[in-house]
Amino acid sequence: MTTHRHVLIPDTSVLHSEDKTLLISSEFEEFWGRERQFADLQLVVPEVVRGELLQQATRAALKTLKRAVNGMSRLSGIAGVEYKIQTDEATVRGDIEARFDKWLASVGGSIAATPVQDINWAAIVNAAVWRLPPFSPDDESPAEKGFRDAMILEAAVAYCSKHSGSVDVAFVAADELLLETADERFASLKSCSTHDSLDAFASYLRLFREDRLTTLELQVQRHASALFYDGEAKGGLYFDWYLDRRIRDDYPKEFEPPRPEPDDLMDILIGKSSYRSWTSAASEEVHVGSARYQGTDEEGRYLWTNSVAFRQPFIFIGTGPGSRQYCKEGYRLRIVKFDVNWSSLVSLSGEVSDARRGPIELIGSSFDPLDGLLFWREWGEDQEN
């Protein structure tokens, strides 16, 4: 099979990292490092995606700078000597921007400008007024981001239209409304596809490498994803196999309340907090990824893997001297990731059947700082209820 270039256009969610010390998510870095060994990949980042990532990182950095300046002022008062932070907001913004651009250059990526002159603004205004995708219905989203999503999609569509047929263009987005709109816009474009996750795109690339990239095979992959998990109907193999309970039973320590870290232990020693001080800030969410095609076994059974991630925010709250409530600033987000392996038969018509569960693997866990604004955007509705 001849070498073929695949262009990946990501939504912000694909590159976003909860850990602000990482400008780009570790999941994307792992995906990119793995898949570039087998495919000719090019990354094209929409202008608005770059802007959103820079805004999120800069916001977190400036909050840290503010705390540092306040701490330095207090230190100066204690020592009787004026100490100063040798940086300012403009420098921080510039450094973060330079860091992103350096990373993008290192992976051979480029920026897709927003085609302001070519956008059908009347259609955008109509969608905004009538809350049509990618705009969210009034009662479903406490933080509307439809306009940003619309601009991201316009950049992706403009790139696909210009390069249709010459390269394989894939738009990857986790947002259902954005993906729904992208499916409609990409339908008439040659060699342009949409995917709801990096896992789904990885399956697409694997099918391409095995020269099995047909409409039927793509339908099989989507059918496998739907068979494994249907969140709206609470159906699928995930529920039939009681995987939520099985994972918790097999890995109980991963779901225990987070224990204090070294800096938290210092708070305990000076009497500010009790021992078990990290408290749930909102309900746990379970994210189930698309079925990833892994090949076939000697019996001809299709091998699949679905990622399952448990996400829950925590806040540091304890009882100090005199039963005084003490709340440490900031949130943390715990993410525990698993891979569920399974297999199935696939008929000539593309029907997925005779599913068999395989091993469950712990991929890893993290407990990283979570920006307060992002917390309220994602879990604010949960707080109100």
Confidence of residue 213 (pLDDT cuts 50, 70, 90): low
Tens digits of residue pLDDT in 115-163? 988 878 888 777 777 767 777 666 555 556 788 899 999 999 999 999 8
Averaging pLDDT over each range in 172-181, 205-214, 319-328, which range is the top one? 172-181
Confidence of residue 229 (pLDDT cuts 50, 70, 90): very high
Query: In the listed set 156, 182, 213, which residue is the last one of a domain according to the structure?
Result: 213
Tens digits of residue pLDDT in 290-311? 898 888 899 989 999 999 999 9
DSSP 167: B
Asked whether 14 and 198 are in contact (CB, 8 A), the reply is yes
Residue 221 lies in a domain: no
pLDDT score for 85: 82
Rounded to an integer, what distance in angstroms lies between the CA atom of residue 57 and that of residue 66? 14
Asked whether 353 and 343 are in contact (CB, 8 A), the reply is no
Residues 13 and 155 in one domain: yes
pLDDT score for 252: 95
pLDDT score for 215: 65
Residues 243 and 344 in one domain: yes
Residues 139 and 6 in one domain: yes
Asked whether 23 and 99 are in contact (CB, 8 A), the reply is yes
Asked if the model's pLDDT at residue 325 lies above 50, the reply is no
Residue 1 lies in a domain: yes
Residue 195 domain boundaries: 1-213
Q: Any alpha helices (H) in 187-283, and if so which ranges?
A: 198-209, 215-228, 237-240, 243-250, 262-269
pLDDT score for 261: 57
Asked if the model's pLDDT at residue 374 lies above 70, the reply is no
List b or e across 275-309, with b for residues whose CB sees 16 or more CB atoms inside 10 angstroms: eebbeebbeeeeebbbbbbbeeeeeebbebbbbbb
Asked whether 259 and 273 are in contact (CB, 8 A), the reply is no
Asked if the model's pLDDT at residue 46 lies above 60, the reply is yes
pLDDT score for 295: 87
Residue 87 lies in a domain: yes
Confidence of residue 326 (pLDDT cuts 50, 70, 90): very low
Residues 40-63: what's their mean pLDDT?
Answer: 92
Strand partners, 42: 7
Residues 76 and 116 in one domain: yes
- Which of 305, 253, 311 minimizes the C-alpha distance to 287? 311
Residues 101-120: what's their mean pLDDT?
Answer: 92
Residues 95 and 199 in one domain: yes
Mean pLDDT for the chain overall: 83
Asked if the model's pLDDT at residue 51 lies above 90, the reply is yes
Residue 359 lies in a domain: yes
Asked if the model's pLDDT at residue 41 lies above 90, the reply is yes
Tens digits of residue pLDDT in 81-95? 888 888 888 999 999
Asked if the model's pLDDT at residue 324 lies above 60, the reply is no
- Which of 369, 346, 376, 374 minimizes the C-alpha distance to 64? 369
Residue for token digits 């900031």?
330
Asked whether 231 and 288 are in contact (CB, 8 A), the reply is yes
pLDDT score for 373: 65
Asked whether 53 and 371 are in contact (CB, 8 A), the reply is no
Rounded to an integer, what distance in angstroms lies between the CA atom of residue 276 and that of residue 247? 24
Domain count, the chain: 2
Residues 385 and 315 in one domain: yes
Query: In the listed set 213, 238, 253, which residue is the last one of a domain according to the structure?
Result: 213
Rounded to an integer, what distance in angstroms lies between the CA atom of residue 64 and that of residue 83? 17
Asked whether 308 and 323 are in contact (CB, 8 A), the reply is no
Residues 235 and 107 in one domain: no
Residues 128 and 246 in one domain: no
Residues 180 and 235 in one domain: no
Residue 154 lies in a domain: yes
pLDDT score for 276: 47
Residue 225 lies in a domain: no
pLDDT score for 385: 47
Tens digits of residue pLDDT in 172-196? 998 888 888 888 888 888 788 889 8
Residue 219 lies in a domain: no
Residues 206 and 240 in one domain: no
Measured CA distances, 360 to 222, 236, 320, 353 (Å): 21, 17, 41, 20
Residue 260 lies in a domain: yes
| Encoded amino acid at 16, one letter | H
Long-range contacts of 356-361 (CB under 8 A, 24+ apart): 356/301, 357/237, 357/241, 360/243, 360/246, 360/247, 360/250
Residues 169 and 83 in one domain: yes
pLDDT score for 76: 86
Residues 271 and 186 in one domain: no
- Which of 52, 62, 46 minimizes the C-alpha distance to 95? 62
